[in-house]
Structure 1
Amino acid sequence: MPLLSRRARATAVAASLAAAALLSGCTGTVQEAVERGVEDAVEGATGGQVDLSGELPADFPASVPVIDGDVELAGGAADAEGWVVVMSSEATDPLGDARAAIEGAGFREDPTLAQATAAGSAYTDGEYLVILAGEGGTVTYTVTPAP
């Protein structure tokens, strides 16, 4: 259980810092400095790499589909620790789309894990655990090796 609590804290830190950077309305050199500061702060809090460039991490598992949209925040500590990806979408129901894509890729919902995390819907394919949480046009993917 402590591992999920650490990830939940890291996700909250990452999402909060990313939101601050996105809402700041910075442009050009100032925006780059803010993004670098956010990346450094999240990397320090999580011990993993964080990227605000709009790209999925190179080692993000191909078996985990993400919705169409913009990558607002992406980070991870490779497959040993997992990844956190925050996507934004103009779709009518981005979280519903994310759930459908995950299920279509062969993941099955595990309500016992979702109750334990209280962070959203939990899915597993035996190799990875994917926790989906969303609000409005944003979906957060927390992906870890399956327990």
Structure 2
Amino acid sequence: MPLFSRRARAVAVVASLAAATLLSGCTGTVQDLVERGVEDTVEDATGGRVELSGELPADFPASVPIIDGSIELAGGAASSDGWVVVLTSEAADPLGDARAEVEGAGFREDSTLAQASAAGTVYTDGEFLVILAGEGGTVTYTVTPAP
């Protein structure tokens, strides 16, 4: 299977499971079981490691700035395939803040790749692609090596 298809599938799995987990409103033991199931499913689908612990993966690229907020889900399918981070923020415009930080770090919007993600804005610095998407206080970062 082509690498892009594997990435796209992994991102879709992570995003849908993250949304289901965040919207479920689970608490206590039930939430722990749901989170463990999400982690296992994503790990199986991506071959990578996912954490619902609120921390970035150890190999997440330092050149990609992340806004302040509570990390709800973070995972990667090894550094060659990419990472997904979903966070919530109390900022007035979290997605706007994320865009400003990414641009401030030297990434530029890449309109030639805009059709690759109808649900987000694509940025690149030549080394990585960053797709930013968000709604309300939630921002999703999808980061992959640039083609």
TM-based fold match above 0.5: yes
Equivalent position of 1:141 in the other structure: 141
Matches within 5 A, 1:81-100: 81-100=81-100
Secondary structure, aligned partner of 2:79: helix
2:8 counterpart SS class: helix
Paired residue secondary structure (1:80) = coil
Q: Percent identity?
A: 82
Decide whether the 8 Å contact of 2:7 with 2:81 is kept in 1: no
Counterparts of 1:5 and 1:96 in 2: how far apart (Å)? Answer: 29
> For each residue in 1:61-98, what CA deviation from the matched residue of structure 2 results, as whole angstroms up to 9, or x when unmatched?
11100111011110102220010111111111111100
When the two chains are superposed, the root-mean-square deviation of aligned CA atoms in Å is 1.6
Map 1:52-67; keep pairs closer than 5 Å. Answer: 52-67=52-67
* Secondary structure in 2 matching 1:131: strand
For residues 35 and 9 of structure 1, what CA distance do their matches in structure 2 show?
20
Which one-letter code corresponds to 1:114 in the other structure?
Answer: A
Aligned residues: 146
Residue identity opposite 1:31 in structure 2 = Q
Tell which deviates more after alignment, 47-56 or 22-31: 22-31
Amino acid at match of 1:130: V
Q: CA deviation at 1:28?
A: 2.9
1:33 matched residue in structure 2? 33
Unaligned runs of at least 5 residues, structure 2: none
Counterpart CA distance in 1 for 2:116 and 2:38 is 29
Output the amino acid matched with 2:75. Answer: G
- The alignment status of 1:24 with 2:13, answered yes or no, reads no
Structure 2 Cα separation of the partners of residues 14 and 146 of structure 1: 20
- Give the partner amino acid of 1:139: V
Q: Which amino acid aligns with 2:15?
A: A
* TM-score calculated relative to the size of structure 1: 0.90
SS of residue matched to 1:75: strand
**Is residue 121–residue 131 contact of structure 1 (8 Å, CA) maintained in 2?**
yes
Quote the residue 1:42 is aligned against.
42
Looking at structure 1, the residues matched to 92 and 5 of structure 2 have their Cα atoms a distance apart, in angstroms, of 31
TM-score normalised by the chain length of structure 2? 0.90
The answer on whether the counterparts of 2:108 and 2:123 sit within 8 Å (CA) in structure 1 is yes
Distance 1:37 1:54 in 2: 17
Shift in Å at residue 23 of structure 1? 3.1
